[in-house]
Amino acid sequence: MSFGPGKEDFTAARIRASLPSFLIVWLGVVLFLVFLLFFLKRQLQTAEIQDVEGRLAAYLADNPVSGLLDISRQPKEAGALRGLSFIRFVKSGEQILLAEDGSTPVDFHRLAALDPKTSGVWISLRNPEKHGPWTITAQALSGGLRVQAGKEAGPYGLLYDRLVAGFRLAAVGGGLLALALALACVKRSLAPIRKVESDIAAILTDGRLLLPEEQADKELTDLYGRLNRLLRHNRRLIGEMQASLDNVAHDLRTPMTRLRAVAEYGLQADADADRLRDALSDCLEESERVLSMLGIMMSVAEAESGTMHLHREEVELAASLADIVSLYEYVAEEKKIGVRSDLEPGLWILADRTRIAQVWANLLDNAIKYGKENGEVVISSRSDGEDVVIVFADDGIGISTNEIHRIWERLYRGDRSRTQPGLGLGLNYVRAVIEAHGGTVEVESELQKGSRFRMRLPRLQPESEAIRLRSQMSGA
Ligand code: ADP
């Protein structure tokens, strides 16, 4: 089995990550080369044109001309053209071309067709727009006479061509180098991620529980520290869930065995329809009991492990308590117990409305269940600093000192309570939900005198105008 990205994925990711830096470096190299080439070209061409212009100026200084007629008297000896390949004089459509015999491959036909104003470096005589071996200068002399002189480009043209070829190679080579550099940099920068990946894979395969926190890099040590905290937290949650699951399985064994016994008893009844019906209704009752036990136990397990999902909203405490009092009106009446409310208006809490109502219901149900006939239950709520305090007080059977610490346990039922229906899960749920809301619950009790369940919950400060208005309205 393999965990995490494979080697190929990683290589592809590395290449992808390298591309931007590679392009930046490579473009930088190419731009630099292009700039250098441009600069060199300008320098070489300036040198060439200055050379041709200098030679022409020297020729004209030695051989001043004022008209085409003067030119027939120009010297014809070797070297008279000062190293120029040709000199061309043009006036009103007529022209004279001077070239040294046999020394240059001057194509007179092409020269004769050349525009007398054409000048520049590395001009092709075949196609003046294109790069060629000629450097030509042109200038106007007096009397409408124009002179044009040219020279085959010297070694600079060739040098430039070689430089272009060399730079092309350098661009390709630079590209490869930039790619290699970018890959190396990215490999280096991805190395910690690769290490994290392999250490995590090792945890999953070797069964190691935590990441090795001693690392060369401080950042990696911090990261591993945090990841280990997360792993410990998750392991604790899983442990708690496992424990809850074990408890639920254990606690359900008894009712399930009972259910099975009832079913077996029913099967033995053969054709006795009444017995069968009784068995079936017992089964139904028992299975409902199991289902509600399961629901409550799961909620408590969620609350205890910190995974209970609370739909918190602003709840007006007095209204929420009054709702439950009216719900239990008939039950209390039946037991001849009076329920008195002493509720401070305008107190708000941020709570899961349904769950908090279940808490009140459990407490009132107990107070009535374990209360005395003709007794009284008092429910009060008031603010206390940053909190609200809610008390359910009854004058019923009370709880003995050796039982009082056990009443919060799952499935615990007091000895004297067995005659009353119940699952022994109510108070367990009450405490889990109150604590999930950031509150506390405690009990004081005296046998035969009664019990007081006192809860403290964070009060919602009436900051928002809406709450203030609602408080005023409910207080009015
Ligand atoms: P149940 O009421 O189903 O037995 P609870 O978890 O609600 O389960 O309560 C646990 C035990 O605490 C009860 O069995 C009872 O002995 C005791 N108890 C709870 N509330 C009261 C009360 N108001 N007066 C006396 N005993 C109480």
* Band (76; pLDDT cuts 50, 70, 90): low
Any idea what the Cα angle at residue 231 is, between residues 11 and 299, rounded to 5°?
A: 130
For residue 242, the CA-to-ligand 1 centroid distance in Å is 27
Q: What is the pLDDT of residues 227-254, one digit of tens each?
A: 999 988 888 878 877 877 787 787 788 8
**Which ligand 1 atom minimizes the distance to the CA of 428?**
6
The end-to-end CA distance of the chain, in Å, is 69
Q: How confident is the model at residue 436 (pLDDT cuts 50, 70, 90)?
A: very high
Determine the atom of ligand 1 nearest the C-alpha atom of 429: 6
Q: What pLDDT band is residue 454 in, cutting at 50, 70 and 90?
A: very high
Pocket test for ligand 1, best of 363, 376, 407, 453 (most atoms within 8 A of CB): 407
What is the whole-number distance in angstroms between the Cα of residue 411 and the centre of ligand 1? 10
More confident residue, 256 or 365: 365
How high is the pLDDT of residue 10?
60
- Flag whether pLDDT at 5 surpasses 60: no
Predicted pLDDT at 7: 55
Q: Structure tokens of 134?
A: 């000629």
Q: Which residue has the higher pLDDT, 174 or 360?
A: 360
From the centroid of its chain, how far is CA 258?
Answer: 53
- The residue that leads in pLDDT, 300 or 284, is 284
Query: Which of 267, 266, 258, 261 has its CA nearest to residue 288?
Result: 258
61 pLDDT above the threshold of 80? yes
Give the helix/strand (H/E) hosting 179: helix 155-206
**Segment 4-8 mean pLDDT:** 52
Q: In angstroms, what is the span from residue 433 Cα to ligand 1's centroid?
A: 17
Torsion angle in degrees (nearest 10) through CA of 120, 126, 129, 130? -90
Place of tokens 């910190």: 306
- For the cut 90, the answer to whether the pLDDT of residue 397 exceeds it is yes
**Angle in degrees, CA 423, 424, 425, rounded to 5:** 90
Ligand 1: list residues with CB < 6 Å.
362, 366-367, 370, 394, 396-399, 407, 412-414, 417, 422-428, 451
Q: What mean pLDDT is reported for the chain? A: 84
Average pLDDT over residues 102-120: 79
State yes or no: pLDDT of 168 exceeds 80.
Answer: yes
Q: What is the pLDDT of residue 75?
A: 67
How long is the chain? 476
* Banded model confidence at residue 468, pLDDT cuts 50, 70, 90: low
Query: Ligand 1 centroid vs 437 CA: distance in angstroms?
Result: 22
Rounded Cα distance, 323 and 453, in Å? 19
Q: Which atom of ligand 1 is nearest to the CA of 453?
A: 23
Nearest protein Cα to ligand 1, atom 8 = 424
Measuring from atom 14 of ligand 1, which residue has the nearest CA?
A: 413
Q: Considering only CA atoms, which residue is closest to atom 4 of ligand 1?
A: 424
Would the pLDDT of 4 be above 70? no
pLDDT at position 304: 76
C-alpha of residue 318 to centroid of ligand 1, in Å: 24
* 366 CA distance to ligand 1 middle (Å): 6
Alpha carbons 323 and 266: distance in angstroms, whole number: 42
Phi, psi angle pair for 140, to nearest 5°: -90, 135
Q: In testing the pocket of ligand 1, which one of 406, 413, 449 has its CB within 8 Å of the most ligand atoms?
A: 413
Q: What is the position in ligand 1's atom list of the atom closest to the CA of 396? A: 24
- From the CA of 378, how far away is ligand 1's center (Å)? 17
Angle at which helix 218-267 crosses helix 155-206, to 10 degrees, equals: 40
| pLDDT confidence band for 67 (50 / 70 / 90) | confident
- pLDDT per residue over 147-162, tens digit each? 999 888 777 777 888 8
Q: Cα–Cα distance between 303 and 372 in angstroms, integer?
A: 33
The neighbouring-strand residues paired with 378 are: 340, 393
Cα distances (Å, whole numbers) of residue 162 to 49, 151, 155, 413: 20, 20, 10, 101
Q: Is the pTM of this model over 0.75?
A: no
The average pLDDT across 383-390 equals 95
109 CA to centre of ligand 1 in angstroms: 124
Residues in contact with 21: Cβ distance below 8 Å, sequence separation at least 6, in sequence order: 182, 185, 186
pLDDT confidence bin for 8, thresholds 50/70/90: low
% of the chain with per-residue pLDDT over 70: 91
Coil vs helix vs strand at 439: coil
Lowest mean pLDDT among 54-63, 217-226, 462-471: 462-471
Average pLDDT of the segment spanning 213-234: 86
Q: Check pLDDT > 60 for residue 219.
A: yes
Q: Which residue has the higher pLDDT, 52 or 184?
A: 52
Ligand 1 atom at minimum distance from 421 CA: 3
pLDDT for res 113: 83
Q: Which whole number is the average pLDDT over 123-140?
A: 82
Q: What is the pLDDT of residues 265-275, one digit of tens each?
A: 888 877 778 88
Q: Among 365, 399, 403, which is best to mutate for testing ligand 1, by the most ligand atoms less than 8 A from CB?
A: 399
Q: Token digits for 370? A: 């374990």
pLDDT for 466 beyond 70: no
Residue 340 exposed, middle or buried by CB count within 10 Å (0-12, 13-18, 19+)? exposed
What is residue 3's predicted lDDT score, i.e. its pLDDT? 45
pLDDT band (50, 70, 90) for residue 467: low
SS3 151: strand
How far, in Å, is the centroid of ligand 1 from the Cα of 430?
Answer: 11
